[in-house]
Every structure is written in C-alpha cells, then in structure tokens.
Amino acid sequence: AQTVTQSQPEMSVQEAETVTLSCTYDTSESDYYLFWYKQPPSRQMILVIRQEAYKQQNATENRFSVNFQKAAKSFSLKISDSQLGDAAMYFCAYRSANTGNQFYFGTGTSLTVIP
C-alpha cells in the first residue's frame, strides 16, 4: 500500500508570514493525484489544493501553492500571508489514478497561527 508521510506534527507561523508544510509519499506508479485537505477544529475536512502527477506545473489557489517534486516524491504546501483562519490540521493525501480507489492520508500537521 502507498504511504504518505507528514514529518511535522505541529507547525506555527506568525500572522501574515509564510509557512511550508512538508509531505512525502511512496509509490511505484506514475499517474496519481495529490491533495492537501484542511480540517479546522470540530469542523469538516475541506479541500485546499490538488495536483495531478502528470502536470509539471505546480498548482496554486490564491494564497496556497504546492511544490511538487515528482522524482523526490515530495509535495509540500506553502501558505502565504497566513491568516488566523488558516489554523487547522492539514492532511496530505494520495490517490492512484489506476489501481484501486482509496485515498491514503498522512497523519497530519497541526498549524497554529500566532497573532
């Protein structure tokens, strides 16, 4: 089974600053999807950003962008101009485009935003 590793259990950032959350994954496949989900305290998980492995260009969504390094199997999330509302648990997830249908999630990074 594929594994997704988030090596930073907790991170903190000053409001308006930039923070990068790391994620690595293990797969032998070439076609897959990667996601970052955000789970605020006691609230439901929402999609932040996604990346198709066949695309070389890094995905961006407003203040959120990724650094996708396919050869290194790395998929980090950069949050620019951090806001208090960004405080949440962030999960990295992987899904194969070909085999099975499961999403594999990392253990999450808890982000604190300091006013």
Partner 1 sequence: DTGVSQDPRHKITKRGQNVTFRCDPISEHNRLYWYRQTLGQGPEFLTYFQNEAQLEKSRLLSDRFSAERPKGSFSTLEIQRTEQGDSAMYLCASRTTAGRQETQYFGPGTRLLVL
Q: Using CB under 8 A as the criterion, which residues of the chain lie in contact with partner 1 when the complex forms? A: 4, 33, 35, 37, 43-47, 50, 52, 91, 93, 95, 97, 100-108
Whichever of 44 and 115 has its CB closer to partner 1, that residue is: 44
CB of 44 to partner 1, least distance (A): 4
CB of 16 to partner 1, least distance (A): 29
Hey, what are 80's tokens?
């620019």
In this structure, is the dihedral angle defined by the CA atoms of residues 59, 72, 93 and 13, taken in order, positive or negative?
Answer: negative
Nearest to 36 by CA among 64, 62, 72: 64
Whichever of 15 and 100 has its CB closer to partner 1, that residue is: 100
CB of 17 to partner 1, least distance (A): 26
Residues in the chain: 115
Whichever of 4 and 13 has its CB closer to partner 1, that residue is: 4
Whichever of 45 and 73 has its CB closer to partner 1, that residue is: 45
CB of 93 to partner 1, least distance (A): 8
Give 92's contacts (C-beta < 8 A, 6+ positions apart).
4, 6, 21, 23, 25, 34, 35, 36, 75, 77, 105, 106
Instruction: Find out whether 47 and 35 touch, Cβ atoms under 8 Å.
Output: yes
